[in-house]
Amino acid sequence: MRNMENIRLEKRGWAGVASLALGSFASVTTEFLPVGLLPDVAGDYGITTGEAGMMMTLPGLLAAVAAPGVMMAAGKADRRWLLIGLSFLLLISASMSAWAPDWHIMLLSRGLTGISLGAFWAIGLAVAGRLVSQESAGKAIAAVFGGVTAAMILGVPFGTFVAGLFDWRTAFVAAALIAVVPLVLQLLFLSSVLAEDKLRPASLMNFIRRIEARKSILLILLIFGTHFGTYTFLTPLLSDAGIGQAAITLSLLGFGVTGFISNFVASAFVSEYLKSTLASALLVMMMSLLLMAAAHNAMWLIAGVLLWGGAWGALPLCLNINNRMASGELIEAGSAMFTFTVQVAIASGSAAGGVIVDNLSIQKDFFSGTAFIVFSLIILYGWKAGTKAEYALNRRN
């Protein structure tokens, strides 16, 4: 009888993990949706493409604050109801974006998106491993992060596809419908999860004091910032080259396909060869950005998109695994800092990209991105990443 009860609890736990993975997918899809819609949104509101990039910058900033802020404010509150509340907030924000009659309402809705996704992502990653048995905890965390990665890769082509069939507002309606699914599943299957300890500023400081943690944060800032400083303006780059909407949608879908393949391949090597896997992905990203900055031919631009997808499929996985290794026993602090750093990088990268695009050109933005990836490789070259002895020493210190 006890074994049957354990099996039942494990199944319910995995149903809860699935609801969190879908919640992460819905959150990050809603966050990245505007990337493929910027020209249409800018045209409707009468603003520049760079200004429209604020649809990425604002949620990134608020998500960065919400990741540790909501966790600290929540204290030891039941994580179940906290996650359900954040999922409901995501539904409201996506619905507001679809309706927004003016640019200021749109920015308000995007701000709500940021608060929801930042806290949900951080808390979901920390909670997932506690819903199942200890030996399955790693797989549960990977499943939730898989929802994040899938959204990073598929969110943009999804938005352009729906907008191509209808309009950009319908894309946000579709995002709201997606958000309903994890909300219902969380109400049905997510178990009560009390915090083991209240997240305090001291926990975050203890994480930051670790040498490997600081190196992890620096690489996350550089790589995520570069990616979204350029990726935010990928659709305008392709449009300026005379590539039609249907071909852009297919190109972004190709980005997603190569990203999924790369993510699968990288997962087989990243545990044993973290530094090599990360370096290989960075080299491919560097080549793709340089190709797209210099190319004026549609074929070469699309080839660059596909190469870029292959690089990006591996990079979030590598960076997340490294950050978790650097976290040691500070799981919630490490998760909060990872989400905080990613969102700061997204906000600052997309904002800097918008300034470069408006004052110089999209091509200059991609050349700048290439330079930052070279800088990331230089940092990585002097970093002996991934050795278990170093991380064990870190934990003792």
List pLDDT tens digits, range 102-150: 999 999 999 999 999 888 977 887 788 788 877 776 677 767 877 877 8
Report the helix count and the strand count for the chain, using DSSP H and E.
17, 0
What pLDDT is recorded for position 2? 57
Q: How confident is the model at residue 4 (pLDDT cuts 50, 70, 90)?
A: low
DSSP per residue, 35-96: GGGHHHHHHHHT--HHHHTHHHHHHHHHHHHHHHHHHHHHTT--HHHHHHHHHHHHHHHHHH
**CB-CB contact of 124 with 23 (8 Å):** yes
Quickly count: other Cβ atoms within 10 Å of residue 331's Cβ: 19
What pLDDT is recorded for position 196? 63
Residues 169 and 167: their CA atoms lie apart, in Å, by: 6
**CB-CB contact of 275 with 386 (8 Å):** yes
DSSP per residue, 279-332: HHHHHHHHHHHHHHHH--SHHHHHHHHHHHHHHHHHHHHHHHHHHHHHHTT-HH
Write down how long the chain is: 397
Q: What is the mean pLDDT of the chain?
A: 83
- The CB-side HSE value for 32 (13 A sphere, CA atoms) comes to 28
Q: Taking the domains of the chain in order of start, what are their residue ranges?
A: 2-396
Q: In sequence order, what are the residues at sequence separation of 6 or more whose Cβ sits closer than 8 angstroms to the Cβ of residue 321?
A: 270, 271, 274
Best CATH choice for the domain 2-396 from the list 3.20.19.10, 3.40.50.1980, 2.40.170.20, 1.20.1250.20: 1.20.1250.20
Q: What's the Cα-to-Cα distance from 2 to each of 7, 8, 134, 200, rounded to whole Å?
A: 9, 10, 17, 37
| Residue among 34, 52, 37 nearest 248 (CA) | 37
Q: What is the mean pLDDT of residues 245-267?
A: 82
pTM for the model stands at 0.75
Structure tokens at 210: 């670790």
